[in-house]
Structures are given as structure tokens and as C-alpha cells.
Structure 1
Amino acid sequence: MGSESIVHDRSTRASWAQYTAFGLRITSELKLPELVLSASEAAEDVIIRQADLTAWSDQLEQTNYVIQGERFMLQIPGTAIFAVREGREIEVCPYPGADMDTVRLFLLGSCMGVLLMQRRILPIHGSSVVIGGKAYAFVGESGAGKSTLAAAFRQAGYPMASDDVIAVKAAASGPIVYPAYPQQKLRMSSLLQLESLQGNKHVRPQKHRLVLTSGHPALPQYGELLKLIGEWNKYAVPTVDEFYNEPIPLGGVFELVAEPSSQLPAVTEQPLNVLGCLHTLLLHTYRRGTIARMGLGEWHFETAARMARKVEGWRLLRVSSVFTVSELVERVLDIIHKEENSYGSHECSQGSLPRHVQ
């Protein structure tokens, strides 16, 4: 189905829910409780519908995903077949008996990442929080601690803009982050460690304190947290009270690297020059393995290069055997405050901080 079918079906979508996420107005036949409901009556940017995609089953069994021009077909065995087209439409074909929480996990993750790239919006794999009127991205390999660090900032009163997928658009004034939706995915170990931070000087008093009930994490206002079947020992943590839902400039990127060596200090910082920042953005692009097959290699490099010239970057090395999130919070705040003090609040607000020595 192309754009003609989208127009033709408009009258049948009166009862579908309207949401906002990643700076997009989304009309969806599927209920998406993770997203923020939209009160806007403007035309949607994206349509999510159910469709019969089983004709693609045999071909997808060989590769799991197929790309034909602006159409991206993805199969998650036992869960669903998805079709993402032209940055405008996602079709979903759940398998019989599929867990719908898992269907939405891939819909809002892999499928949305592809859709953002089709719209020429860079999806960065990481978490972002708002500090001093700017968004700061935490990126790193799996297990580096990016979501845990973002959650610690959230506990300290800094709103979260995104978790897992950070949607960034290259604007003339500098990169702009479009917030995702108010939910984090956290491991049980992170939840337990974050609970131990209560009373830390950076942690504000919680209106709804994280508690542990029968060995499982729970928030009193939400009841038992949902365990995400498609993620290894991760839970969905609602962040409605600490979510920033407006476009905001990207102020900087922190790459977290977990080191096994105990010879290093608990946390070591390294400023990144433009090339280092470019490498970090390219490396930590969400689902970057699909970029070349989508024919977006040149766009990907040019977009990341434009962003690298506009934002600051740092690498934070931490000892993996030590829980260093409190020290990381202090170090990040110290770095940002030093940048603001060095270059002035006016320059900071314009996103034009001088770069580190090239």
C-alpha cells in the first residue's frame, strides 16, 4: 500500500489512538500504552496498522529482514512480521499467540529506528537527560551503564528525554533531540543499585519511592513492573513524572566504557575532538548494520559529521567491577558546569561552545 491507500483509509481511523513520540504525530490501530497521548488535531506523520504480511514469511525465514527501496521488512520469529515504509507507515502482523508487549518492544525499537532513518533523523543508541536546558546523550556498548546513569540523573531531578533510541535531527543551529516516550528499560541489578542510592546528595526525595516487594521491583503508583520478554532480565520503568517532552538542543555526548582493569581510577574522563566525536556517533547509531543496505551510508556519515562539529564529546572510563554511578553523576555535572563557566551562558545557549583542541 502506498500514499493513496493511506488517504483512502483515513475515515476508518477515527477510533484509532493518537500519540506523540520522537517528535512525530502517530496514529495507531494498535494500543501503545508506552506513548504519550496527543491532543493535536493536526494530520499524522506516521500510521501504524495491522496487516497480513504472511506472504513474506518464506523469504524472511532466510534473512529475518528484507529491504526493497523505501520498504523495510522485519521478522521476529514467534512474535510478528513488520513492514516499515517511506518513513510514514508501519504495518504489523503478529503471529498467533504472540506476546503483545514483545510486539510493541520491537515496534517502538527496531522499527521506529528504521523509520527515523527513512525520515533522515539520526537514531542514536543510548539514553539522554536534560541538564541546564540541553539534552546530553549517554552512549556505550551493552552493559556500559548508560541507562543506569540516566536513571540516576532522573532520581536527582533531571528529566529524561529518551532511553534506548535518541532521535536527533541536524538543524542549521545545531542538533535537536526529539524526546521518545516516558519509559526506561532497566535490569534488576540496576534497580537494586539505584535503590541503594537513596540518601545520596544528588538524589532528590522521591514522591513515589522505588521499593522491593517479594524480590521484585515495584513502584507504588504502578504496581508490579513489567518484565520485558524480549530483553535479558530488563523491566519497563515508567518515567511519566520525570519526562521532558519538548524538542531540545543536543549539548553533548558522553561515551561510557567499562574497563575490567583495577589499575585505573574508578572514573577517568577523556575529552573527544571532532574526529573522536564523529567516530562515537557513527559507532553508536541505532541498528547501524542496516544503513548500508538502505543506501544511507553517505547521509549517515555527513549527518554525524555535521553534529560532531556542533557538540562536545567525552569518553568516561569506569571500572566495571565497581558501582560508580554516583561518581559518574558528579563527573558529568562537573564537566558541564566547567564548560558553561569557561565559555559563558550565552554561548552555551546557542550551542556554539568552542571545541577541544583538534
Structure 2
Amino acid sequence: MNNQKFYYTIYGLTLASDYEFSQFVKLEEEINEPDIEIVYGGIPDFIEPQIKEGYYKGIKEDEMWFYNSAGLFYIHDRKTINFIEYNKGTIDDAAVFLPGLCLAVLLWYRKMLMIHGACLRINDKTIIVAGNSGAGKSTLTTELIKRGALLMADDVTGIILENGQYISYPAFPAQKLCEDQVEKNGLDTTSLKQVRYDLNKFEVSREDDFYDKPAKVDALFRVEVQDVPSLTKSEITGSEKLKIITDCIFINWLFNDTFKFEPDDMLRCIGLSNQISVHKICRNKDQNTLNEILDYIQSNV
């Protein structure tokens, strides 16, 4: 790594980074006081002894460290992510985890709701297509873009409460697609960057289909794969509406006695559920219901 700094805007914040992200929206001018920083190195000495004792992560208030097969990461002070390559990983391998998991944790500390789903702008409305891995979010997102939608975030949507409204801020103009989706859409894989931790996925630029302004969230569509005889789709009301939103939090698997879902986090989720419509779509993986789902989403925006 050299000493060059790269500057970006992401989720409505300025970012200074030691690592260059080709997919992020670049800022040409140098930022003296960025909102957030990504720093190569600077891992504190207290972490390595804990790893030797068998720990793979540590969490305190507004502070978290963890490691995996690619890198070692330290998130702290609601501002900074320190990272290095680790085990058999390279710097590029480790950097793959910065835009997703690491930023999601940091922005959660900054009181931003991080939803596991794509954010799209359709007919002057802002929607989230949410669901667990394998639910079909990328396929739906790609097809909605073909129908004229604009991308705001691919896999992690950031929402913050401002002046009584829940606002989604754009992430970056790129989308991760599986190889079969790349081939289906006639894209040449030789010109695409592979996602290093999952070589079956490719990074596709969406610069021409990107909405780069903050926007009030209007609806969330939760897509699930279940053993159902046929496609079901409905608007949700009552307590299940709130449950769907909390289930869609990108980092909800981290919540425990230390990394807590605090009362003010619940209040934000309640506030969001009161302001948006929530829909639940259950599909059978063996049935081709893509167009029916797309039509339902567009008719409910």
C-alpha cells in the first residue's frame, strides 16, 4: 500500500480511504475532515492475544473487531475502519469485506438502519427489495432496472431519520451478479471484475442507471423462498410489518448480549414501519414467477 488517499461519497457521507474502490463515487477534492475513514494497518496490540486465546471477534460499545480467512478488521469511534490482510488473504481479498459488513457495522453505530436489500428509484418512489441470500434480489433488481428503475444500493440499503422522514442515501453505482445472470443479460465476463471471495459473482457497473440523491423510503418488498404450492404476495399490516423490517436488518445475526439491539434502534424500526408500506412475497424456487413478481412490485409503487 502506498500513502495515497482516495476520497469518496457514500451513504451521504464523505469517506477517506487508503484503499482504492473502483465502484465508489469519487470526490476530486481532498477532504480534510472526512466523516468516515478506512485505514490500512493500525490494528491495536490487544487483538492478537485474544485471537490466540481462540476468539474470532470482540465487541464493546461502538467498537468491534473480527477476522476471517481474508482479513482482520477493527471498527471504532463511529468513524474508522482499520484493516489488514490475514491468514491466506491478500489486501484485495480483505478489502471485499469493507463496503458490506464493515461499513454496515460502522454506520449502525452512527444510527443508520442498514437493511439487507437493494434500493431502487421507480416512478419517483423509493423501494427496497429485501431478502436473505438466494431469495432472488439481484435478479429482481436487474429486471426492474431493465424496466426503467434506477439503482441506489445493491445489497445494503442505508436509512436515516431526518426531519421526521426516513431517508435512503445512495451507496455506489455497481451491482454484484451471479455468473448465470451475467450470461442471461448478455454481458461479457472478460470485461468484468470478479468478486474475489465468490468467483461465481461479477461486479457490474450501473453508472448509467444510478440515482445519486437521497430520497424518502416509500415501500419494502420482502422476498422469501418457501415450499409453497404457488406464488403468494400481499401487503402486511400490524405487528408482522415491524417483524419483517427487523428481520431485514443486515447485521441482525450479530445481535447478542454485547452488540445490542437498543431501544432507540427499535424506535427507528417502528417509525419506519409507520411511514412505509411493507409487502411479503413467497415464491417456490421451482416455479418461474419472475414476471408476476415484477408486475406486483410495479403495481404497488
TM-score between the two structures when normalised by the length of structure 1: 0.77
Aligned with 1:150: secondary structure? helix
Counterparts of 1:268 and 1:155 in 2: how far apart (Å)? Answer: 24
5+ residue gaps in structure 1? 1-11, 196-209, 212-216, 337-358
User: Bigger CA drift: 96-105 or 299-308?
Assistant: 96-105
Which residue of the partner structure matches residue 257 of structure 1? 224
CA shift at 1:192, angstroms? 3.7
- Using the aligned pairs only, state the percent identity: 22
Amino acid at match of 1:152: E
CA shift at 1:240, angstroms? 1.4
Cα 1:95–1:141 shift into 2, 3 Å:
closer
Cα 1:321–1:27 shift into 2, 3 Å:
same
Counterparts of 2:101 and 2:295 in 1: how far apart (Å)? Answer: 33
Counterparts of 1:141 and 1:88 in 2: how far apart (Å)? Answer: 28
Q: How is 1:2-21 mapped onto 2 (pairs within 5 angstroms)?
A: 15-21=4-10
Q: CA RMSD in A?
A: 2.2
1:236-285 residue CA offsets vs partner (Å, 9 max, x unmatched): 22211111111111110001112333x32xx3211111422211110110
CA shift at 1:143, angstroms? 0.9
Q: How is 1:242-253 mapped onto 2 (pairs within 5 angstroms)?
A: 242-253=209-220
Q: How is 1:121-270 mapped onto 2 (pairs within 5 angstroms)?
A: 121-193=112-184, 195=185, 210-211=186-187, 217-218=188-189, 223-231=190-198, 233-261=200-228, 263-264=229-230, 267-270=231-234
Within the alignment, does 1:276 sit opposite 2:266 as a pair?
Answer: no
8 A Cα contact 1:184 1:236, kept in partner: yes
Within the alignment, does 1:74 sit opposite 2:63 as a pair?
Answer: no
Counterparts of 1:162 and 1:277 in 2: how far apart (Å)? Answer: 22
Structure 1 segments, 4+ long, off by >6 Å, are: none
Counterparts of 2:223 and 2:182 in 1: how far apart (Å)? Answer: 19
CA shift at 1:102, angstroms? 2.5
CA shift at 1:146, angstroms? 1.1
1:202-246 residue CA offsets vs partner (Å, 9 max, x unmatched): xxxxxxxx33xxxxx43xxxx432222323722222211111111
Aligned with 2:296: secondary structure? helix
CA shift at 1:31, angstroms? 1.2
Which residue of the partner structure matches residue 308 of structure 1? 273
Count of residue correspondences: 296
Q: Which has the larger radius of gyration?
A: 1
Cα 1:60–1:184 shift into 2, 3 Å:
farther
8 A Cα contact 2:16 2:38, kept in partner: yes
Cα 1:85–1:54 shift into 2, 3 Å:
closer
Cα 1:147–1:53 shift into 2, 3 Å:
same
